[in-house]
Amino acid sequence: MSLRSTRRHFLAGAAACATLPAVAAAQTPPLGRWTTGTPLPTPRSEDSVAALGGFIYVVGGYVPAGPNPAVLEATGHADVDGPLVQAYDVARGQWGGRAPLPRGLNHIGTLGFGGRLYTFGGFDRQNRDAVSDANAYEPAADRWTAIAPIPSKRGSIAVAALGGRIHLVGGRDEHSVGTHDVYDPESNRYASAAPLPVGRDHMGLVTYGERLYAIAGRIDDFDHNTSYADVYDPGGDRWSSLPPMPSQRSGMAVALYRDLIFAVGGERRGGTFTNNEAFDPQTNLWRTYAPLPEGRHGTGAAVVDGRLYVPGGGPLNGGSLQSATLFVFTLA
């Protein structure tokens, strides 16, 4: 599908979204509660987030560089305003540094799986110059090891584990793509699977049951945010459409929490979102929850011990400012 036809498809989909009664009525007061945890040692944005063994890892991204906070630098070294990889001990409420990646990158696809932390792709410069890097981290040895590079260079890939393998979906090289690679940690090889119906990046990807759920994202830039929601059935190797998210967003923090797929924050031209909306795979309905205390984008979410954590992120759209906040969401 060409970029022009993809955008036509996106605009048609956006018009349909306005008429679909896919969201339950908002509650008063909104469900859930936000609190704050221990701030990050270094403000971060366009980082990636994953949970592993009671720790929340924040990997790569931008940090403030120099006296001008608008000047950004991908965190390429452990001594650039703090370590490249920071881990939050949930039980102790403490942050600590970890071994840095082989090189600094932003918009990396990251997840914890099988006792390891995995990273895929990313950008070598601010939101551009995609790479094919892939690495695995051993917590006990505090060591990164290169694994087979991804088949095509791209950043802002959405990743999730399903059936003993890691799915890498979407992302961007020069333009948004629908590429769907499946990595097997045992063989250290990739296979191809059905691509997304509409290629996009800055998207969320979550496993629920035996399926993958792809949430929102953008086509090339935040002027073309989408509200698409798609589900992947590995048995039939096919994607199907779901009711769209109530808002068109990208750069959100997305995670499975209490059997609901939460999409928190995001960015658009002129600002960021405080939106907190969740999809229930059992009812196929969206519901609105308590909004973020402040708008954030360019980070992820992780769930540990019954709470959803959103560390850092950008309070402004783009990459001009980073935050050190740790927002924590709980449902009664």
* Domain tally, the chain: 1
Q: Domain for residue 291, yes or no? A: no
Q: Domain for residue 124, yes or no? A: yes
Average pLDDT over residues 201-205: 98
Query: What are φ and ψ of residue 83, in 5° steps?
Result: -70, 150
Does 201 have pLDDT greater than 60?
yes
pLDDT of residue 86: 95
Return the percentage of the chain with pLDDT > 70, whole number. Answer: 86
Under DSSP, is residue 13 helix (H, G, I), strand (E, B) or coil? helix
Average pLDDT over residues 90-96: 97
Residue 250 sits at the vertex; the CA angle it makes with 244 and 256, to the nearest 5 degrees, is 65
pLDDT of residue 319: 86
Average pLDDT over residues 61-89: 58
Q: Domain for residue 263, yes or no? A: no
Q: Domain for residue 289, yes or no? A: no
Q: How many CA atoms lie within 13 Å of 254's alpha carbon, on the beta-carbon side?
A: 28
* Residue 67 belongs to domain with CATH number: 2.120.10.80
Q: Domain for residue 273, yes or no? A: no
pLDDT of residue 65: 65
Q: Each residue of 130-163: pLDDT tens digit?
A: 999 999 999 999 999 999 999 999 999 999 999 9
DSSP H helix total and E strand total for the chain:
1, 32
229 lies in which domain range? 3-26+46-254
Does 198 have pLDDT greater than 80?
yes
Average pLDDT over residues 18-40: 70
